[in-house]
Amino acid sequence: MRGAASADQADSQVARDIVTMDVEPGAWWFGAYHNFNLLVWRRGADMDAVERLERTNPERVKAHPERISTVHIVTPEARPPAPETRDALNAMHARYAHTVGCAAVVLELGGFMGLAVRSAVTGMIMLAPKHYRIKVFNQVDEAAPWLVDNHARSTGVEVALPDLLEVLHVARNSGREG
């Protein structure tokens, strides 16, 4: 774990509790907030990102036996993952399914590329283990209320909606090109 999200974002206790786990500036950012994993995909997932994400899992799972909820935020610049990257993500999801509370995927992109990414994500969801609920949203503000309810139900850990909204917005703006 590499420290708080960034100095300019750490103006509240909620923001200070967000930890950057790994980052490839301009490409992706992986963070954590208590028992939430936060992933922001700016260019889309690739094999390097999956391998680096996989390295964060054992420590996170050990720290949170109550389970972890995951939020993927796919920005408008992202592209769909290549088939081998999808396979690697699916394999990782299968290995860690028993540790997941719930998962939200926020797809912020539209048009043809949005359709391509949505299609890839839908295929991955269809192959995902059915141990937890997954839902796709268009904006973080839509995902937050669903996450608050489903995270509490599946992990027993409650988070306030305003706090989670702040977390998602800070995450969404993390990992930009430096």
**pTM of the shown model:** 0.87
- Predicted confidence at residue 93, as pLDDT, reads 86
C-alpha closest to that of 169 among 145, 140, 128: 140
So what's the pLDDT on residue 78? 87
Q: What's the CA dihedral at 117, 123, 126, 131 to 10 degrees?
A: -60
Structure tokens at 46: 């690739």
Query: What tens-digit pLDDT sequence spans the chain (178 residues)?
Result: 444 444 344 578 999 999 999 999 999 999 999 999 999 999 989 999 999 999 999 999 999 999 999 999 999 888 888 889 988 988 898 899 899 999 998 988 766 666 666 666 666 666 666 677 888 899 999 999 999 999 999 999 999 999 999 999 999 999 887 5
- Residue 161 to residue 163: CA distance in whole angstroms: 5
- For residue 157, what are its two tokens? 């850990």
What pLDDT score was predicted for residue 7? 37
CB 130 within 8 A of CB 98: no
Judged on CB neighbours under 10 Å (0-12, 13-18, 19+), 9 is middle
Q: Which residues pair with 19 in a beta bridge?
A: 4, 32
Quote the longest CA-to-CA distance of the chain: 40
Residue 72, H or E segment:
strand 68-74
pLDDT of residue 1: 42
**What does the DSSP assignment read for 114-170?**
HHHHHHHHHHHHHHS-TTSEEEEESSHHHHHHHHHHHHHHHHS----HHHHHHHHHH
What structural domains does the chain harbor?
Answer: 7-172 (3.30.750.24)
CB 82 within 8 A of CB 43: no
pLDDT of residue 118: 63
